[in-house]
Amino acid sequence: MVSLKTEIGSISLERPGIVASGIMDETGPSMVRMIESGAGAVVTKSVGLEPNAGHANPCFTEVSGGYVNAMGLPNPGIELFKEEMDVAVPKGKIVGSIYGAGPEDFSKLAGRMEDYGACAVELNLSCPHAKGYGMEVGTDPAMVKAIVSAVKSAVSIPVWAKLTPNTHILGDIGMAVQDAGGDAVVAINTLKAMVICPEIGRPLLSNKFGGLSGAAVKPVGVRAVYDLRTVLDIPIVGVGGIETWRDAAEYIMAGASAFQVGSAIGTVGTDVFARINDGLSSFMEEYGYSSIADMTGVAHD
Ligand code: DHB
């Protein structure tokens, strides 16, 4: 019998697909809808200490193979986000994504997410275009170590770190997470990108730069997970361009114990998790894999 159950350290999921931060996870009802659509868990949109309006429009555009966005981390702030968590937490496993400028911000936010009933926190160390946040703190291994250590001391729920592909020292950053006691790494966040509108002769997005997501980034993500698996012992959650069961299988074979889907909720629809679950089960049945753990990392020799 094939089982889609999986473990990310101490967290058990009935199904291996998780909603990635940033899409259908800004509100309690949207998170509930995704749990009911076959997701094994949902990661919230990243939340900070204070309410944040985000960037002016245009902040989102479609490109070949994906989307480029610079929303600007819009969120109601951790205080108000309790209302959304109160709706979502009774219905499924919710991972609280948080962003901050350093160890103190992240620790405070993680403590609140734990109080709200999050099953884990995901540290956004990887937004590609936020001044003083995201990738700016997440590409310095010493800073990453300090943030993860501080959060580990502040909470007892598992701590996941979402990493950026916009670096040549991904392995060092992953090691910093592991050395600091991090429970898992999540790879990858979006690739720093730009779209120029020829008619206006200017970058299209109000923020000029944004993050590329969707099918175009999948081979980068698979490579990143493969590289991380060669140096890390902690679990990896794969994310980036997954639309079908084949994409999910690639990430699992590269070394992921679970995977996240973001852009494909837009391009395929909210039934993307149900489709991936069906396809994965059939593939595993046919090719003799009895569990996700059985398939994890098989691409390494
Ligand atoms: C935003 C945040 C991200 O982490 C990302 O990858 C892309 C966009 C944002 O809110 O702007």
In total, the chain counts a number of residues equal to 301
148 confidence band (pLDDT: 50, 70, 90): very high
> Considering the chain, what is the average pLDDT of its residues?
97
- For the question of whether the overall pTM of this predicted structure is more than 0.95, the answer is yes
Residues 6 or more apart in contact with residue 199 via CB below 8 angstroms: none
256 confidence band (pLDDT: 50, 70, 90): very high
- Dump the DSSP string for 148-210: HHHHHHH-SS-EEEEEPSS-S-HHHHHHHHHHTT-SEEEE--PEEEE-EETTTTEESSTTSEE
149 confidence band (pLDDT: 50, 70, 90): very high
The residue nearest atom 5 of ligand 1, judged by CA position, is 127
Rounded Cα–Cα distance for residues 100 and 108 (Å): 9
Ligand 1 atom closest to the Cα of residue 126 is: 4
* C-alpha of residue 94 to centroid of ligand 1, in Å: 19
- Check 59, 119, 127, 197 and give the catalytic one: 127
* C-alpha of residue 128 to centroid of ligand 1, in Å: 7
* C-alpha of residue 295 to centroid of ligand 1, in Å: 30
* C-alpha of residue 283 to centroid of ligand 1, in Å: 33
Ligand 1 atom closest to the Cα of residue 21 is: 4
1 confidence band (pLDDT: 50, 70, 90): confident
Average pLDDT of the residues in 119-134: 94
Assess whether 119 carries a catalytic annotation. no
Average pLDDT of the residues in 25-43: 97
Ligand 1 neighbours (beta carbon < 6 A):
69-73, 124, 126-128, 134, 189-190, 211
H helix runs in the chain, sequence order: 28-36, 78-88, 103-115, 135-138, 141-154, 170-179, 218-231, 245-254, 263-267, 272-287, 292-295
Summarised one tens digit per residue, pLDDT across range 45-84 is: 999 999 999 999 999 999 999 999 999 999 999 999 999 9
Rounded Cα–Cα distance for residues 236 and 244 (Å): 19
**Residue 56 CB burial class (10 angstroms; 0-12, 13-18, ≥19):** exposed
Cα dihedral 142→144→146→151 (10° resolution): -170
Summarised one tens digit per residue, pLDDT across range 230-248 is: 999 999 999 999 999 999 9
Predicted pLDDT of residue 301:
80
